[in-house]
A and B are shown apart, each in its own frame.
Chain A
């Protein structure tokens, strides 16, 4: 007996993928990537965002949100640690780009490794003393860290305080692809590439030892330790990888926006990215992608109703979370179901 649940897009997608052979999978993947790549050309359709430029919306917030949500999902979804200060890593990436871009003459691609590196370094430095904490305690500490980073850049002279940093250089052209302010297709393709790399990284890690370790830590940290999982090490790894993705998003954001200021890196961003993860389906890559896409896109799509748009946005969140408390595309709840997959024991 097959119960068809039209709401269950996750299983529909999983079945489609598992039922396909290798060439079919390659076709599905390439086809989807191609379609996503065409998105910036759909500006005249119903997708258009009034007031805000459509192709710019696709880059920020949509693309950058997806990237950050994927990074935060490594921490929150994969290994089960609540991080309320994720914006800190985004800010570190952005300020690395801004400072190095305006002072050293290096271009965006050359600065990218530094941005990622500094974010990872911050992740390790924050993680070493704090990841012994669990649950609420960790959430509070990370929340504090996010605010500390913002307050430091707000009150320092090297960061030009509340004035922010202007004249950040755009990325250099990649062959025939030119980065332009009034046409952000190339930015979008770069974000999509970064998203794909992130997804690839997460998927690879998930099926290997780190994935197993994170899963064990998320389900029962003490038991994981008893199995010989060096839990602190894997938690720091998870935290640092999440930080790396946040840092990369920050570098790209600064280089696209050409101007950054501390007010862009408030607690709100951390909360919004966490909402993307929870809204889409915590722990499920595709859920997170869908969640971040919707939450990034929606406010700009309904911008014409000006003041009421945050009300509508909030209502959508409340209604959806009521009907789908585990998110739009939740991860498989194996605790409750019998796993059907054949196992060769």
Chain B
């Protein structure tokens, strides 16, 4: 299993948002894309999950070019995304949200209770809120639900779009701890983040995006110690 993006271009109308980026995610890794607003992080993720169309270039997953596979079929292949802004179903209960994560699975009935247990083990809070509507959860709980729901489809690659957005520092640390935990169960993770500090601490490798281009690719620990990167993305002398 390997996810490879080759010379990807994506357009919004006439505007080119992604200007030929190449990213490789190897099996078992946590790879992070960091960058400022408008760098193209979310667009890249949406293109991998199929919500945006590829203008040119290729997305190769398991040796197969999936550029033209519709989004809902990419879930079958093992690509699952927890969308930006949490994107849960606000009018469905926590349980119904999680069940939706299995919508496409053929033997969903057989797998259901086992996978629900897995999610509840990772996020005990969700179990307490199981009958509560998604829209009534706190921001952190909604993020947990979005990640838990994405896990219900038994993904090979989990795409996470800014899981730290709008969360309290303690909750951010908690979410990132769980991301590492999920990775240890064998799920490859592609993480898009503005919180570069946390992302670089958790990831194996990282790509820095600027206005639709990859400007740097390195081991995450190297970037953490790179003075230029610290200056631009971590704030000078950032410790936390």
CB within 8 Å of B: which residues of A? 209, 212-213, 215-216, 219-220, 222-231, 333-343, 345
Contacts and interface: CB of A to CB of B under 8 A. Distances in A.
Contacts of B132: 338-339
B131 A339 contact: yes
Nearest to B120: A345
7 contacts: A209-B103, A216-B92, A227-B103, A227-B149, A229-B72, A334-B133, A345-B130
Interface in B85-107: 87-93, 95, 99-101, 103-105
B75 interface: yes
Contacts of A229: 72, 100, 103-104
B136 A343 contact: no
Interface stretch (B21-29, B30-38, B76-84, B197-205): B76-84
B75 A228 contact: yes
Contacts of B89: 215-216, 219-220, 223
A334 B135 contact: yes
Contacts of A223: 83, 87-89
A335 B153 contact: no
B116 interface: yes
In this complex, the member of B100, B131, B133, B136 whose beta carbon has the largest number of chain A beta carbons within 10 angstroms is B100
A345 B116 contact: yes
A162 B49 CA distance: 52
B134 to A, nearest CB: 8
Contact of A215 (B80, B92, B153): B92
A222 B87 contact: yes
B3 interface: no
B212 interface: no
Contacts of B186: none
Nearest to B96: A212
A216 B72 contact: no
A338 B95 contact: no
B91 A231 contact: no
Interface of B: 49-51, 70-73, 75-76, 80-81, 83, 87-93, 95, 99-101, 103-105, 116, 120, 127, 130-133, 135-136, 149-150, 153
B99 to A, nearest CB: 8
Given A222-B51, A337-B133, A341-B131, A228 B87 contact: no
A339 B100 contact: no
Contact of A227 (B91, B100, B120, B130): B100
A336 B87 contact: no
Contact of A339 (B49, B80, B93, B99): B93
B123 to A, nearest CB: 13
A338 B90 CA distance: 12
A228 B72 contact: yes
Nearest to B50: A225
Contact of B76 (A226, A228, A231): A228
A225 to B, nearest CB: 5
B92 A228 contact: no
B104 A228 contact: yes
Contacts of B50: 225
Given A222-B87, A223-B87, A334 B93 contact: yes
Nearest to B135: A335
Nearest to A233: B72
B136 A225 contact: no
A229 B95 CA distance: 17
Contacts of B100: 212, 216, 224, 227, 229
Contacts of A333: 91
Contacts of A220: 87-90
Given A227-B75, A227-B153, A334 B80 contact: no
B76 A342 contact: no
Contacts of B92: 215-216, 219, 334
Contact of B101 (A219, A222, A227, A336): A227
A226 B83 contact: yes
Q: Which 9 pairs from chain A and chain B are nearest by CB?
A: A228-B104, A228-B75, A335-B135, A334-B133, A223-B87, A343-B131, A219-B89, A225-B71, A335-B90
Contacts of A230: 70, 72
B91 A226 contact: no
A246 to B, nearest CB: 27
Nearest to B80: A226
A230 B50 CA distance: 12
A228 B92 CA distance: 17
A338 B104 contact: no
Q: Give the interface centre of B70, B91, B95, B127 by most chain A CB atoms within 10 Å.
A: B91
B66 to A, nearest CB: 14
Nearest to A209: B103
A224 B75 CA distance: 11
A339 B91 CA distance: 10
A213 B103 contact: yes
B17 to A, nearest CB: 17
A335 B92 CA distance: 8
Contacts of A225: 50-51, 71-72
Given A219-B92, A343-B131, 7 more contacts: A216-B100, A223-B87, A228-B104, A335-B90, A335-B91, A339-B133, A343-B93
